[in-house]
Structure 1
Amino acid sequence: MSAEFLTKALTVLFGYAMPALECFKAIEQRPGRTDQLRFWCQYWIILVILVIFDDIAGVLTSKIPMYSELRLAFLFYLWYPQTRGTDIVYETFLRPLVMQYEPNIEERLRYLRANAGDILIFYLKNFTERGYDLFLRAMDYIRSQASRGSRTRRWFSFGGDRAERSSFVDDYVGGGGGGDRRTTATARHRRHRDDY
């Protein structure tokens, strides 16, 4: 558990926080260095694709031994000044792939932007209908439990009819008869003393 927590903390530190600070510094440099800005934009693009992959294939990646550690090493490789793996990954793999499918991706994004309001209304309507149905089912369940609750309250009450309660206390103490709490405690004490 602690190794997993440490890996997550290091991923947040080295995968998100430090690169974000470096990106901030690159943006805020007065004589703007476009090579630094390009590098950090490439890094964030690769990181977003990695996060999307993790979300989609989370069940599969959880079965890979040391996947979190491998991902941490990959993130470190991407931005570390001596390796600068972002340039290699972006230019070799990502850029050719995205350039091939960019027109199709652009068309789908335009469609989503144009219909975003309709999609939002559809999901809100669907959510409210399902939410209302779920609320009604929860109320029915609570009502059914309340009607059964009168029996439950009698079982847990300290007074009430002893015949309605379970006999496991009597079985544990060893007595089958009635009695109050003092005789039950006394019988339990005698039984404990006889065991020695």
Structure 2
Amino acid sequence: MLGEFISRGLVMVLGYAYPALECFKALEGNRVETADLRFWCQYWIIIAILTVMERFVSWVPMYDEVKLAVIIYLWHPKTKGTGYIYETFLRPYVAKYEPGMDRNLQEVRARAWNVALYYWKNCTELGQSAFVDIMDYLAHGKVSRSSKKDKKK
């Protein structure tokens, strides 16, 4: 329990806070170095993927400790593992499947928008009906016809 607490704290500091500070310094320095920006962008892409995958592998024993080791490997000046992982694994995979990924994301976005509109329409209709029922009850002390129809069903 205490080990997990310490590991998660170290992951927050070494995996998020320190890289965020370094990324900030790379952006706000006197001379913006493209190599530094590229390195930190690659780092954040890998961290995003790890965070998504975490839902599926976080049950593995000592997961937090392994994640901490991977995070240090990614940004440590001697290893600079970010470049290796990005160039060796991530870039070729994404380049190969990017058109399909883009198409699937557009389809998901369109479906999500349609679902959101559907629920918005239903919620507004229910809200209007409830509002009318409340106003009718307050004004006349009785339930409107739309509520009576719903009760008969």
Counterpart residue type for residue 84 of structure 2: I
Counterpart of 2:77?
A: 81
Counterpart of 2:91?
A: 95
Counterpart of 2:104?
A: 108
- The offset of 1:6, in angstroms, is 0.4
| Alignment CA distance shift 1:79-1:123 (3 Å) | farther
- The offset of 1:8, in angstroms, is 0.5
CA distance in 2, matches of 1:95, 1:114: 27
- Could you give the per-residue CA deviations for residues 140-196 of structure 1, whole angstroms, max 9, x where no partner exists? xxxxxxxxxxxxxxxxxxxxxxxxxxxxxxxxxxxxxxxxxxxxxxxxxxxxxxxxx
Q: Percent identity?
A: 49
Structure possessing the higher relative contact order (Cα contacts under 8 Å, 6 or more residues apart): 2
CA distance in 2, matches of 1:74, 1:123: 42
Structure 1 residues not aligned, in runs of 5+: 129-196
Larger radius of gyration: 1
CA distance in 2, matches of 1:84, 1:26: 16
| Alignment CA distance shift 1:73-1:120 (3 Å) | same
Aligned residue among 61, 64, 67 for 1:68: 64
- Could you give the per-residue CA deviations for residues 66-90 of structure 1, whole angstroms, max 9, x where no partner exists? 1110011000100011111000000
For residues 24-63 of structure 1, the aligned pairs below 5 Å read 24-55=24-55, 57-58=56-57, 61-62=58-59
SS in 2 for 1:26: helix
Q: Which moved more, 1:10-19 or 1:24-33?
A: 24-33
Counterpart of 1:12?
A: 12
CA distance in 2, matches of 1:69, 1:114: 39
TM-score, normalised relative to structure 1 = 0.58
Q: Which moved more, 1:87-96 or 1:101-110?
A: 101-110
CA distance in 2, matches of 1:116, 1:43: 29
Structure 2 residues not aligned, in runs of 5+: 124-153
Number of aligned residues: 123
SS in 2 for 1:82: coil
Counterpart of 1:149?
A: none
CA distance in 1, matches of 2:50, 2:17: 16
CA distance in 2, matches of 1:65, 1:123: 41
SS in 2 for 1:32: coil
Q: Tell me if 1:21 matches 2:21.
A: yes
SS in 2 for 1:81: coil
Counterpart residue type for residue 74 of structure 1: V
C-alpha RMSD of the superposition:
1.9
